[in-house]
């Protein structure tokens, strides 16, 4: 989390040195991302990939909006899907209204409707929930999510009951000959909004307001001494976060041409929390990584195992316990070592650690899948296939193999971990000696 101050002072110096090169350096990653977003559909052409990439784009906006609260301002919300779901509902109602009245609003502008809806509800709910911070705030966010979720069963006219509300995105005013009927065209709409939202959210972190958010996260009392009301800072961050969550929800509503109660359910709130944290809340790119990974895993894992949510949960617990900085944190941790040019020293022990890690993974997968075979899929009998090998789950030898795998993984970890930490220490000491700030 200390990266922001360090990079800030660095970029401050470069601005004085050469304004043009610093502007290029700031815009460079965004230009590259834009080029990548444009090029991706030509590399991954199939409809499945287009669908998954569209979902990733939506998840990125949602996770970034979530991290405005969790990572930047230190507010842990368990009900962020409320603004996502309401954004979807309002955009679907807005589209149906525009179709019915032939209002001249083109589809690409429609996500703003969702964003304004998200903002509006965040203004109301945020006023209530940001009165408290810390754990109480988290519990209130959960309560408000339940309130909205239950209300959807009462206000059936607006929420459409169990089925939800449908729409048709091709019937709106067309400015070009794109109808947005195909997933290919839809992908570009999502990619454009994803890029715009990401740029705006990144720019926000660079403003004095973004800095105050960080200050409120680190030490609300000191922020107060400087003359800012932490409650107001949290409230503004909450509202802005609701706005972008609404945009993400609107994109989802347009993409599925449907808004239903699942969109603001507890599962949706949980998924965005998982994705953001697995990616890493300490950096701006962390949630992007998490959103991409989690969307991909959701599609891929649900194809190969019935209990993919269990793997998901275990992965999340592992990240919380062993890598609280998330994926981005792990990468960031290695930056000074790479810059000092001593990353090579870590490689031998990393290669050694791969062996027990694979054994552990194999053992855990065997344990879970064999239990599932015997408990959930009782009717299919004990015959099963894992990694292409067929065997019977009710025989003792696969269980024995599983125990051996787990035991040897544990033993090897005990053997490797002292080497690993020694290599790590020496690499860091060398990096420090070469004048690289850790």
Partner 1 sequence: MGRASSLPLNLWDGATGNWVVSFGTQHFLIKRRGNVLELVLISTLNGVLYGLLLFLMASGLTLIFSMMGVLNFAHASFYMLGAFVGYQISKWAGFWPGLIFAPLIVGGVGMLVERFGLRNVHKNGHVAELLFTFGLAFVMEELVQIVWGKAPVDYRVPALLDFSAFTIFSTNYPAYKLFMLAISLAIFVGLFAMLTRTRVGLIVQAALTHPNMVAHLGHNVPLIFMLVFGVGAGLAAIAGVIAGPALVTQSTMAGLLGPILFVIVVVGGLGSLSGALVASLLIGLLQTFAISSNVSMADLFSFSGFAPQPNTILNDLWRVSVAQIAPILPYLLLVLMLIFRPTGLMGNRES
Closest CA to 234 of 67, 80, 73, 71: 73
Tokens standing for residue 257:
């041409």
Site for partner 1 in 364-403 (CB under 8 A): 368, 371-372, 375-376
Rounded CA-CA distance 83/85 in Å is 5
The nearer residue to partner 1, 157 or 176, going by C-beta atoms, is 157
Tokens standing for residue 356:
């027990």
The nearer residue to partner 1, 108 or 265, going by C-beta atoms, is 265
What single-letter DSSP state applies at residue 46?
A: S
The nearer residue to partner 1, 88 or 145, going by C-beta atoms, is 145
Closest CA to 436 of 335, 363, 318, 303: 335
Min separation Cβ 38 and partner 1, Å: 36
x/- map, 93-132, partner 1, by CB under 8 A: -----------------------------------xx-xx
Q: What angle do CA 61, 290, 250 make, to 5 degrees?
A: 20
Chosen residue from 100, 226, 321, 389 binding partner 1 by CB under 8 A: 321
The nearer residue to partner 1, 36 or 314, going by C-beta atoms, is 314
The nearer residue to partner 1, 26 or 386, going by C-beta atoms, is 386
Site for partner 1 in 274-303 (CB under 8 A): 274, 277
The nearer residue to partner 1, 3 or 146, going by C-beta atoms, is 146
Site for partner 1 in 184-223 (CB under 8 A): none
CB 279 within 8 A of CB 326: yes
By CB under 8 A, is residue 78 in contact with partner 1?
A: yes
CB 123 within 8 A of CB 238: no
Site for partner 1 in 130-189 (CB under 8 A): 131-136, 138-140, 142-147, 149-151, 153-158
Min separation Cβ 70 and partner 1, Å: 8
β-strand partners of 271: none
- Which distant-in-sequence residues (6+ apart) come within 8 Å of 142 by Cβ? 78, 79
The nearer residue to partner 1, 108 or 143, going by C-beta atoms, is 143
CB 250 within 8 A of CB 91: yes
Total binding residues toward partner 1, as defined by CB under 8 A: 51
Give the distance from CA 365 to its chain's centroid. 25
- Which distant-in-sequence residues (6+ apart) come within 8 Å of 384 by Cβ? 369, 370, 373, 377, 390, 391, 392, 393
Site for partner 1 in 246-275 (CB under 8 A): 266, 270, 273-274
What does the binding site for partner 1 look like in residue numbers (CB under 8 A)?
70, 74, 76, 78, 128-129, 131-136, 138-140, 142-147, 149-151, 153-158, 266, 270, 273-274, 277, 307, 309-310, 312-314, 316-317, 320-321, 324, 368, 371-372, 375-376
């Amino acid at each position: 989390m200390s990266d922001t101050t360090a990079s800030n002072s660095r970029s401050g110096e470069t601005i004085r040195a050469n304004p043009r090169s610093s502007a290029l350096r700031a815009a460079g990653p965004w230009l590259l991302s834009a080029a990548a977003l444009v090029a991706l559909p030509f590399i991954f052409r199939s409809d499945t990939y287009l669908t998954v990439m569209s979902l990733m784009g939506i998840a990125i906006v949602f996770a970034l909006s979530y991290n405005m609260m969790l990572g930047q301002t230190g507010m842990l919300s368990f009900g962020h899907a409320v603004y996502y779901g309401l954004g979807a509902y309002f955009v679907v109602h807005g589209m149906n209204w525009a179709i019915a009245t032939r209002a001249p609003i083109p589809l690409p502008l429609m996500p703003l409707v969702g964003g304004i809806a998200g903002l509006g509800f965040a203004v109301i709910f945020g006023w209530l929930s940001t009165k408290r911070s810390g754990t109480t705030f988290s519990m209130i966010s959960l309560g408000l999510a339940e309130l909205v979720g239950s209300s959807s069963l009462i206000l059936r006219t607006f929420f459409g009951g169990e089925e939800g509300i449908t729409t048709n995105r091709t019937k709106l005013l067309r400015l070009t000959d794109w109808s947005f009927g195909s997933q290919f065209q839809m992908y570009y709409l999502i990619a454009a909004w994803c890029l715009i939202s990401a740029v705006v959210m990144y720019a926000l972190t660079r403003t004095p307001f973004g800095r105050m958010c960080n200050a409120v996260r680190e030490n609300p009392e000191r922020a107060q001494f400087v003359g800012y009301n932490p409650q107001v800072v949290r409230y503004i961050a909450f509202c802005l976060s609701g706005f972008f969550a609404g945009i993400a929800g609107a994109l989802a509503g347009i993409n599925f041409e449907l808004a239903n109660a699942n969109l603001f359910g507890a599962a949706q709130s949980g998924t965005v929390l998982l994705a953001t944290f697995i990616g890493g809340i300490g950096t701006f790119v962390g949630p992007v990584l998490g959103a991409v990974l989690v969307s991909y895993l959701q599609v891929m894992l649900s194809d190969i195992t019935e209990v993919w949510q269990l793997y998901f949960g275990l992965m999340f617990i592992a990240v919380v316990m062993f890598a609280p900085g998330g994926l981005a944190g792990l990468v960031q941790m290695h930056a000074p070592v790479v810059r000092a040019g001593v990353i090579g020293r870590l490689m031998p022990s990393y290669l050694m650690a791969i062996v027990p890690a694979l054994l552990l993974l194999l053992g855990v997968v065997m344990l879970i899948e064999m239990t599932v075979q015997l408990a959930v899929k009782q009717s299919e009998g004990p015959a099963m296939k894992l990694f292409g090998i067929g065997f019977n789950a009710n025989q003792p030898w696969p269980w024995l193999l599983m125990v051996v795998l787990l035991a040897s993984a544990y033993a090897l970890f005990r053997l490797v971990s002292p080497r690993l930490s020694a290599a790590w220490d020496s690499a860091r000491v060398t990096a420090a000696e070469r004048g690289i700030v850790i």
